[in-house]
Structure 1
Amino acid sequence: MSTPNHIKMLFLGTFLVLIAGLNFSCMNGGSDDVPVAVGNEDVDDDVTEEEEITSKLPEINLNNWKVTLPIGKPDEVKPPEILDYATNETLKPFFYNDSINGALVFYTYPGASTANSSYSRTELRELINPNDGGKTNWTFAQGGHMKGTLSMDEISKDNNGNYHRTIIMQIHGRLTDGQRDLIGQKDNNAPPMLKIYWTGGKVRVKTKVLKDLNASGTDILKTDSWGDDAGHTFSEYVGFEKFTLEVKVESGRMEVILNGNESVVYNDIHIQKWSVFENYFKAGNYLVSLDANAFSRVKYYDLEISH
Structure 2
Amino acid sequence: MALKLLALLPLLSAVSSFPLLAPRANPSCAPGGNINLSPWTLQLPIGSPGSPQQIPGSQLAGCSGYQDPGHKYFYTNPSSGALVTKVPGSPASSGCVTTPNSQHCRTELREARSWDPKAGTNKLTATLTVVKADNSGHGTVVGQIHIDDSVSSKPVCELFVNSAGVVAMGVEQTRAGGNMIVTTVGSVDLGGSWSYAISYANGVLTVSVNGGATKTLSTYSLDSPKSYFKAGNYNQGSSASEVHFTSINISH
Shared fold (TM-score greater than 0.5)?
yes
* Structure 2 residue aligned with 1:302: 247
Mapped pair 1:105 → 2:84: yes
The structure with the largest alpha-carbon Rg is 1
Flag the 1:149–1:252 CA change in 2: closer, same or farther, 3 A: same
Q: Is the 8 A contact 2:116 2:226 kept in 1?
A: yes
For 1:80-130, what per-residue CA distance to the aligned partner results, in whole angstroms no more than 9, with x for missing partners? 2223445653x74211001422310001122100111000000000013xx
Q: Is the 8 A contact 1:155 1:164 kept in 2?
A: no
Q: Is the 8 A contact 2:156 2:172 kept in 1?
A: yes
Query: TM-score, normalized by length of structure 2?
Result: 0.75
* Structure 2 residue aligned with 1:286: 234
* Structure 2 residue aligned with 1:194: 157
Q: What letter matches 2:199 in structure 1?
A: K
For 1:61-80, what per-residue CA distance to the aligned partner results, in whole angstroms no more than 9, with x for missing partners? 01111111111121111132
Q: What letter matches 2:105 in structure 1?
A: S
2:55 to 61, 77, 83: 77
Flag the 1:232–1:87 CA change in 2: closer, same or farther, 3 A: closer
Please give the secondary structure, in 1, of the residue aligned with 2:72.
Answer: coil
Mapped pair 1:257 → 2:208: yes
Q: Is the 8 A contact 1:85 1:95 kept in 2?
A: no
Shift of 1:164: 7.6
Flag the 1:295–1:164 CA change in 2: closer, same or farther, 3 A: farther
Please give the secondary structure, in 1, of the residue aligned with 2:38.
Answer: helix
Query: TM-score, normalized by length of structure 1?
Result: 0.62
Q: Output aligned runs, 1:29-40, within 5 Å.
A: none
Distance in 2 (alpha carbons) for counterparts of 1:240 and 1:305: 24
Please give the secondary structure, in 1, of the residue aligned with 2:172.
Answer: strand
Q: Is the 8 A contact 1:285 1:298 kept in 2?
A: yes
1:154 to 127, 132, 136: 132
2:100 to 112, 115, 118: 115
Shift of 1:259: 0.5
Distance in 2 (alpha carbons) for counterparts of 1:115 and 1:122: 16
Mapped pair 1:96 → 2:70: no
Mapped pair 1:227 → 2:179: yes
For 1:207-245, what per-residue CA distance to the aligned partner results, in whole angstroms no more than 9, with x for missing partners? 1114xxxxxxxxxx5x15x6212x211343332210000
Flag the 1:279–1:63 CA change in 2: closer, same or farther, 3 A: same
Distance in 2 (alpha carbons) for counterparts of 1:107 and 1:80: 22
Mapped pair 1:170 → 2:144: yes
For 1:250-291, what per-residue CA distance to the aligned partner results, in whole angstroms no more than 9, with x for missing partners? 12211100001133112x4626x422x2100000001001x3
Q: Is the 8 A contact 2:134 2:241 kept in 1?
A: yes
- The answer for unaligned runs of 5 or more in structure 1 is 1-53, 129-136, 177-187, 211-220
Shift of 1:154: 2.6
Flag the 1:87–1:198 CA change in 2: closer, same or farther, 3 A: closer
Distance in 2 (alpha carbons) for counterparts of 1:88 and 1:201: 28
Flag the 1:247–1:139 CA change in 2: closer, same or farther, 3 A: same
Q: Output aligned runs, 1:199-210, within 5 Å.
A: 199=162, 200-210=164-174
Q: What letter matches 2:216 in structure 1?
A: V
